[in-house]
Chain A
Amino acid sequence: MENRLMLTRDARLQIPEQVVTRQVGDEIVLLNLESGTYFGLDPVGSRFLELLEAEGTLAAVLAKMLEEFDVTEAQLEADLLRLADEMLASGLLVTA
């Protein structure tokens, strides 16, 4: 919960060891093997995860996605923070 309140665009996030990801159709499923919690990411969410794994910080992901998608920075930042926040709360991401 603490993670959720402190989350900013400078946050460095990663997928914890106990979480596995798998492509299913055009989505990615993340499953926490310890808790059984799972989450499905649509193609945009999947791109977020792919960039996060490569870049590490939300800020870097935000910059890349702004180049790829037709969306305002404020809107995208709010969406990404909300998504990351939800995934942190589910134990599918952790702060590095």
Chain B
Amino acid sequence: MEKQTRATLLDCLHRDESRLDPAALSVLTDEGWTALIEMATRHGVAPLLYQRLKAPPLAGCVPDDVRERLRGLYLNTAARNVRLYEELRPLLLALHEVGIPVLVLKGAYLAEQVYCNIALRPMSDIDLLVPASRAREVWRVVKDLGYRLIYPATETLIPSFGKDFVCQKPNGFAPVEVHWTIKITDEKDCMDGEELWQNAQAACIAELDTATLSVEDFLLHLCLHASYQHEFDFGLRALYDIAVFIERFESEIDWSALRARVLHHHWRRGVYLILYLASFRIGAAIPVEVLTALEPADLSVGVIEQAERRLFDAGTETAGMTANVISFFRPGRLGDRARVLWRRLFPSRKEMAYMYPIPPGSWVLYSYYLVRMKDLMRRHGTAAWDLLRGDRELAETVRRRAELREWLFKPDAQ
């Protein structure tokens, strides 16, 4: 059932609309439709499914109640995003007013300017990039607008530690992530801040003249975010973002510049794998020569399968296991595991001050190591217990994820 649902969903979302045979929909049972809607929701693509299925010739194959359920999800996304843009506008206005340059990242740009219909692209937060030198000032501006700091817990760490601050207004407002660097992971290069600002392009977002990343930087950010940062757990929405983005800017993308940067920064494995999946599963128009040039020599069918499996695990319980849990429980030497455990239990003072509201110099911070242990137990205790008592399915998931991780972060052979 799962496999069939997956195939139907992929056909429904494929950029080549002729791939979906209406007869495949006609045979779906109530149970089949429910599974399809649930999978689409889990992958953040239910509004896209609605858009595809309401148009002829597929509309006639969709039962009324199914169409209504999908329309409900579409309108829900629209309403949430309307609210999010209503939040974004005063935020951008306030920053513009004090002359702080800002680049709008990810969803807020994609939904309006790439999907061209804000109901099609679910969003959970607002991502902005500001110069590191102005980050503290940005916090003061948003604080005056009524935002509360979530991370770091200690205000004085902005921007000396971490890559962003996260804040939120009470009463159902979306979290706002203010970045001053686009950090991929500890193991990989950041996207170059200077270069991002130099290449930035003008954009109209939330009815305001503002800016976003250049076409190549934006596409790279999508690829790096989905591959290295989230290790493919972002579901089909990540592939779809890439496919729609390429379709929208097909004539503008400088593929050779993009390829050169990928190779220079050793981002080859992640970028190749996500582009490969976007191309072969969703039909993203990626030039064959780009894929050929980026293909790592040790790519195997197994790696592609692991990434795909992870992609389809999105939204499930095991998808939430962090890279640290994977590093700890993966088969390996005891010493490596002990190092991971030690690092997680006893982070540096700055890391602690990032998580808990205590200045890094305070002695009280030591008492928070107990709180840290409690928090780790609460977060990972169940998975850890299941693994320790020999849950085979979970152990297999950890093994697979560790394998994918190892391949992904292996140094590139250029």
* A interface, CB within 8 angstroms of B: 20, 22, 24-25, 27, 29, 31, 33, 36, 38-40
Known interface pairs A20-B86, A25-B51, A33-B86; A38-B117 also in contact (CB < 8 Å):
no
Minimum CB–CB distance from B33 to chain A (whole Å) comes to: 21
Minimum CB–CB distance from A26 to chain B (whole Å) comes to: 9
Minimum CB–CB distance from A37 to chain B (whole Å) comes to: 9
What 5 new A-B contacts, CB under 8 Å, besides A33-B83, A33-B86?
A22-B82, A24-B118, A24-B119, A27-B119, A38-B78
Q: How large is the interface on B (under 10, 10 to 19, 20 to 34, 35 or more residues)?
A: 10 to 19
Closest 3 CB pairs of A and B: A38-B79, A24-B119, A40-B75
Which residue on chain B has the smallest CB distance to residue A25? Answer: B117
Selected from B51, B75, B86, B120, the residue in CB contact (under 8 A) with A29 is B75
Q: Which residues of B contact A22 (CB under 8 A)?
A: 78, 82, 85, 118
* B interface, CB within 8 angstroms of A: 51, 71, 74-76, 78-79, 82-83, 85-86, 117-120, 172
Most chain A CB neighbours (cut-off 10 Å) among B75, B78, B119: B78
A40 touches B83 (CB 8 A): no
Q: Which residues of A contact B71 (CB under 8 A)?
A: 40
Q: Which residues of A contact B117 (CB under 8 A)?
A: 24-25
Minimum CB–CB distance from A86 to chain B (whole Å) comes to: 14
Minimum CB–CB distance from A46 to chain B (whole Å) comes to: 13
Q: Which residues of A contact B86 (CB under 8 A)?
A: 20, 33
Known interface pairs A24-B119, A25-B117; A31-B51 also in contact (CB < 8 Å):
no
Q: Which residues of A contact B120 (CB under 8 A)?
A: 25
CA distance A15 to B180 in the complex (A): 40
Most chain A CB neighbours (cut-off 10 Å) among B85, B118, B172: B118
